[in-house]
Amino acid sequence: MLRRILTALIISALIIVPFFGHAQPIRISYGGTSGFGTPLLLTLQMGLFKKHGIDLEHILMPGMGVQALLAREVQFAHPGAAPAIYAALQGADVVMVASYYNVLPYSLVVHENIVNPLDLKGKKVAISRVGGIDDFSVQLAFKKLGLAPKDTALIQVGADAERIAAVRSGAAAATVNAPPAVFTAQKLGLKVLVDLGELDIPYPIGVVVTTRSYLSENRATAKRFLMALVEGLDIYVYEKDVALSVMAKLTRMRDQDLLSKSYDYFAKGMSLVPLLNPTAVENALLGAGASGRDVGKFYDNSVLQELVKEGFIDRIAKNRIAKKRSGGS
């Protein structure tokens, strides 16, 4: 009897805590240092990918993640929806398999001399690149403010810091930023003309992309990758101190007040089960000028749905509750 009990306990432990003799090398690109990229880096730094048998290399490739994916230089990309959508529309073998943040977090930030939307007419607006998420966010902000695309000129400037500097210097009249950059901009004297986050517009932001061929041939690996990510998301939402430490490293910010405000902004909208939202994908297609397409061709929720069906998500929550009851030990 004792032998059977011990055997059952060992089997249960193996089910709950995967064991892999050798971690599989996997590479993922990421596009920038905005706060919403924190969960992926947190998952890596907490050792959760290795726990699930993956030795993950996290590579910064601004604007090049999908190209690297298609060239098989990486197995996954974390680019935001727009590059993946554009690539798929051109026939590329890409598919979104997760999105842990599905609301536009951008604000239209303007120079202190801009008093109302009409002041933007004839002015320059700084974006990172044409066709990106910030480009789409600018168009939505303009629509909200009653402006037309022809009213301003878009200029490609670069990352958050460069765009903020362009507005402060007068080289541009406005830009769009997500936390924590938007809070930095306000602290430097710039103004928020419209906060798209308050409009609650569904849009896939925290996106993980792979190729359909890789997913078909390496489904077990993709599943382990997403298991790790789901655990990381749970820690992000429920362990603020850990999340803030990782966000500070990612964004290279030391201002704890701005980091805390950024965390609070993202945590309230974070999806613990990072399923793609069809309405969010539809909005991404709209931003790419491809409304009316079959949204189901651009994402695959099947791996995450398996994890839900198998009870993996519930086990994560139960483990968290048990840990809290035992005092975090």
Q: How far is CA 300 from CA 97, 167, 256, in A?
A: 5, 39, 37
Place of tokens 């998952």: 43
Q: Write out the chain's pLDDT in tens, 329 residues.
A: 434 433 433 333 443 445 455 789 999 998 777 677 899 999 999 999 999 999 999 998 877 889 999 999 999 999 878 889 999 999 999 999 999 999 988 999 999 999 999 999 999 999 987 777 788 889 888 888 899 889 999 999 988 889 999 999 999 999 999 888 899 999 999 999 999 888 888 999 889 999 999 999 999 999 999 999 999 999 999 999 999 999 888 888 888 998 999 999 999 989 999 999 999 999 899 888 888 899 999 999 999 999 999 999 999 999 888 888 887 55
- Give the list of residues 6+ apart from residue 73 with CB closer than 8 angstroms, or none: 27
Q: How big, in percent rounded to 5, are the helix, strand and coil portions of the chain?
A: 50, 15, 30
Q: Phi and psi at residue 218, in whole multiples of 5°?
A: -135, 45
DSSP 275: P
DSSP element (H, E) containing 164: helix 160-169
Q: How far is CA 3 from CA 9, 12, 73, in A?
A: 10, 14, 49
Place of tokens 């993709």: 222
In the chain, the N- to C-terminal Cα span, in Å, equals 31
pTM for this model (two decimals): 0.83
Place of tokens 């968290």: 320
Please give the structure tokens belonging to residue 196. Answer: 């798209």
Q: Which domains, from first to last, does the chain contain?
A: 28-102+206-325 (3.40.190.10), 107-199 (3.40.190.10)
